[in-house]
A and B are shown apart, each in its own frame.
Chain A
Amino acid sequence: MGTPQSDIDIPANSPTQLWRIKHRDYIVNYGKSKDDYEYCMSEYLRINGVYWGITTLCLLDQLDQLNKTDVISFVKSCQHSSSGFGASPNHDPHILSTLSAIQILTIYDAVNEIDVESAIEFVRSQQQSDGSFSGDKWGEIDNRFSFCALACLSLLGRLDAINVDNAVDFILKCMNFDGAFGCKPGSESHSAQVYCCVGSLAITGRLHFLNVDALGWWLSERQLPSGGLNGRPEKLPDVCYSWWVLSSLAIIGKLHWIKREKLITFILACQDNETGGIADKPGDLVDPFHTLFGIAGLSLLGDTTLKQVNPVYCMPEDVIHRLGLKVQMLN
């Protein structure tokens, strides 16, 4: 009787220490073999992948292992004339790619190498009359795109380009009975959307709209017996939620509502000691996405061998500090 709880068991001889050098090498070598199947298939998110890789290297303090010129050159080639950025050359402009582009260039302090005004205009033009943001001209609405817009414009110091009040109004319409958020009004609560909405409210200084007790509790209930975090009730744990859930908890001042040590154990167990990199679960195949979020999670959990990560932007804290950006955070 009763629903069996979804969870995984951490295998007996899972890694227990962080293999910084292996992860560095994994990222640096990723994409070197251009005929790798997975690499080719993921061209539609290439620029996001570059951002994941670069941020991982920053947190490992190994950014110098990549060729800055090559990276900037690639990012530039993704910008469409007088518009936003696509995931790769020839791929259509999208707000997800545009955020990644701006994040990469901000880390390299090279924002002025691209057509900033066009990028701003592309983002601005995605805002709808109800405050929501589409991803591109084809009109899909999702508060992931709201976060992309707010993060992107705040990094460029140009939040004035959009209607912030309306943007916030739309975000609040996505709040559910549990205090958490779904992708659009009416959608079920999901940790990744929670991150996007809480991040958006932090950037716009409107965290007071949150029901912090309810949301914090919902987030803390993401931690399963294995120590890993899931994305919503009755789902399996996944390392990327170490970021979405953890950063949300950090922003609302409730990191202590989960058990730190158990989550660290889970993330470390997801490492691959042969290839380097981190997977979504112990024993699965690794990828740059989960590598970043595993490492970012460890940084938030206080690993002092890693550089500090900013919980709102998922970028190195020293970069955010350099920009003089202030985001709201609760104690």
Chain B
Amino acid sequence: MHGRVKVKTTAEKQAERRAELAKRAQQFLQETAAIFDKRKKNELNEEMLRNSQNLLMQNPDFYTLWNIRRECFLNLVKEKEDDEMEKLYNNELALLLACLKVNPKSYSVWRHRRWIMTHMNHPNWQHELSLCTNYLEFDSRNFHCWDHRRFVAAYTEGVTDLTELEYTMKKIKQTFSNFSAWHYRSKLLLKINSNSEIAKKDSVWVQEELDSIMNAIYTDPNDQSAWLYHKWLLGREEIPPTICTLYVAKCADDKNSQMNIVATWSRPVTTHDANQAIVILDGRQVDCIWKNNCNHSYASHIWITQVQDVSENCVIQAGLKEIGSLQITLENGRNEAWALARNESMIKEKMAVNLETLIVQKQLLDELYEIEPENKWLTLSQIYLGHALDGVKTDYRFLEEELENLINKLVDIDSKRKGYYCDLRSKIIIERFALNLFQGSSFQECKKVDLSKRRLSCLHLMHLFSHVTELDLSQNELVNLGDCTPFYCLRVLTADNNFIESLRNIQYLPNLQELFLRNNNIGNIRDLLPLQDSSSIKSLHLGDNPIACSKTYRQDVKQLLPRLQMLDGELI
């Protein structure tokens, strides 16, 4: 079904061909019917094997026929001698080889080879490995063959992860652009090197691999495979999720001194993981159940629990036993308090190599970039390495101006992926903003955040602002509010002058009272549906949206949102 070129011929030739093929098809159907007949009679014998052979050579993906052949083998093995069976198995391997010539990417054929090999008495695994090697000479990207090779390698004497690693290097030296080989290396290297090695950032294997990949990059800076692999080598770190913000608020009008405790996690976590967090009130562990703020079953950043009988000057701790917790003292007379844990690894992607290695990588790529400044991969690496080293390498700053120039160049040379580059830029800008904010001394008290006028095309790290009460996102290029569910404390959201057309998830902001959406793309009353589920929203601004042009605009909004008090600054 793939890669069959349509060739133009005369009507006469077409008719001839059709008739010939129709004849062959009839023959095929007849023989198939005969086989199904024989199967119904349970005649699972050598004749069946003979009869189905040609059919499979014409049509190797006819999976039921392979099933029937397997049934024959299982039947014949009961009566036949070992050497007779071995003959049959070897014939089968020859048949399969012939079928591979017809379709080297047939799932059924490779699968049946594995079945035969594991049922033979004397499988020749070395020979099977050679078969794989030969096939990969012919097509080094045939993933069926690579999977088969991995299967065979496990059985073949003398083959280890190390010898396989050597084999992949052989393939790479033949042609650097061999994603399949690099992929296999990524698995083998992690297997070969124990867990403790992975943790060490100056591991020998990482250095050697970086050398190999840099070789590949220098040989052909346009080869995608090398770049994807290089990026992985630099950034393999997985940081376990932690609670990054703890917020407590006394429930209003409650005589039982009930309190909400809200934990914001650095990554979305499941109910199970969220409930590993323990709560300690005044030194005493309290039983509690954490629920997410959206009342659904997906992983979430925000988890909430309630505690009763809260004393004055209560000290609240919440966190994970092994990783640590956040602590708040709710002073006498106060109704709410918060504590923030902020560190660089919560904001920037952590590098999996040490600083010296990173600096060397940048130097090597800088040199190549000077020779090939129009190469998109090199330009991209300038961005992520520059950002990684910003403020980390002594006396090195990745200036905003440089970021803008590089992004503009990427949008120019690789316009198809403009969406990706704009989002990449937005993420870096937000990361820089967050680092700047959280390195200051007064960030704990800061409840208003201004991210306006930055041409942001997407939001990022919003879970770091779950304690914030006022957020300004105006004059950007947002199409939606992204995952805004972490805005637990937000009271005023200003998002004028964007391209917002969807308010999905806005109903999960329990404290949102005023929403500015002037000059956006809200076109339809249905776009406001998520606000229907918001119990807190009091004031809405929708001027200069297509929806505001409708004659029944104010009535429609009032009907949809009966609890709304103000629309566009006027009572509704």
Within 8 A of B (CB), among A248-305: 254, 256-259, 262, 272, 279-281, 283-285, 287, 289-290
Contact partner of B228 among A218, A225, A257, CB < 8 A? A218
Indicate whether B504 reaches chain A with its CB closer than 8 angstroms.
yes
Q: Is B284 an interface residue (CB 8 A)?
A: no
Contact A238/B2 with A183-B147, A208-B299, A331-B480 known, Cβ cut-off 8 Å? yes
Whether A41 pairs with B298 at a CB distance below 8 angstroms is no
B508 within 8 A of A: no
Collect the chain A residues with CB atoms within 8 Å of residue B36's CB.
Answer: 90
In chain B, what residue has the closest Cβ to A39? B25
Tell me if A233 counts as interface (CB < 8 A to partner B).
yes
Interface size on A, residues (CB 8 A): 71
Is A76 among interface residues, defined by CB-CB distance under 8 A?
no
Q: Are A234 and B141 in contact (CB under 8 A)?
A: yes
CB distance from B150 to the nearest CB of A (A): 6
Which of B3, B107, B298, B417 meets A328, CB within 8 Å? B298
A41 with B28: CB separation less than 8 A = yes
CB of A284 within 8 A of CB of B4, answer yes
Out of A86, A183, A233, which one reaches B179, CB within 8 Å? Answer: A233
Interface membership of chain A positions 169-196, coded 1 if the CB is closer than 8 angstroms to chain B and 0 otherwise: 0000000111000111011111000000
- Also in contact, A190 and B143, with CB within 8 A (given A220-B417, A280-B2, A331-B504): yes
Contact B186 A234 (CB under 8 A): no
CB pair A178–B228 under 8 Å, yes or no, is: yes
Interface residues of B in 1-58 (CB under 8 A from A): 1-6, 18, 21-22, 24-26, 28-29, 32, 36, 58
B306 at the interface (CB under 8 A from A): no
Q: Select the stretch in B60-68, B386-394, B463-471, B559-567 that faces chain A.
A: B60-68
> A205 in the interface, Cβ–Cβ < 8 Å?
yes
- Taking a contact as CB atoms under 8 Å apart, the answer to whether B107 and A140 are in contact is yes
A12 at the interface (CB under 8 A from B): no
> What band does the interface of chain B fall in when counting residues whose beta carbon is under 8 Å from A?
35 or more
> Measured between alpha carbons, how far is A252 from B146 in the docked complex, in Å?
29
B275 proximal to A (CB < 8 A): no
Contacting residues, chain A, for B232 (C-beta < 8 A):
177-178
A124 contacts chain B at the CB level, 8 A cutoff: no
Contact of A280 with B1 in the complex, beta carbons under 8 Å:
yes
Is the beta-carbon distance between B5 and A94 smaller than 8 angstroms?
no
Chain B residues contacting A158 (CB-CB under 8 Å) are: none
Q: Which residues from A are CB-within-8-Å of B147?
A: 183-184, 186-187
Contact of A234 among B22, B25, B179, B504 (CB under 8 A): B179
Question: Do A208 and B267 contact each other (CB < 8 Å), given the known contacts A138-B70, A188-B146, A284-B3?
Answer: yes
Q: How far is the CA of A220 from the CA of B376 in the complex (A)?
A: 14
Q: Is the CB of B176 within 8 A of A3?
A: yes
Q: A206-B299, A208-B268, A232-B179 are in contact. Are A92 and B64 (CB under 8 A)?
A: yes
- Nearest CB to that of B420 among chain A residues? A257
Q: How far is the CB of B484 from chain A (nearest CB, A)?
A: 9
Q: Is residue A223 contacting chain B, with contact meaning CB distance below 8 A?
A: yes
Q: Are the C-beta atoms of A40 and B25 separated by less than 8 Å?
A: yes
Query: Which 3 residue pairs of A and B lie closest in terms of their CB atoms, listed nearest first?
Result: A37-B21, A208-B299, A256-B419
24 A-B contact pairs sorted by A residue (CB < 8 Å): A1-B219, A3-B177, A3-B222, A41-B59, A43-B32, A86-B64, A136-B67, A138-B115, A140-B111, A177-B183, A177-B228, A183-B147, A190-B143, A205-B296, A208-B268, A213-B427, A217-B420, A232-B141, A235-B141, A254-B419, A279-B6, A284-B4, A331-B480, A331-B502
List 4 other contacts, CB 8 Å, given A36-B25, A258-B417, A290-B1. A36-B22, A177-B183, A280-B2, A331-B505
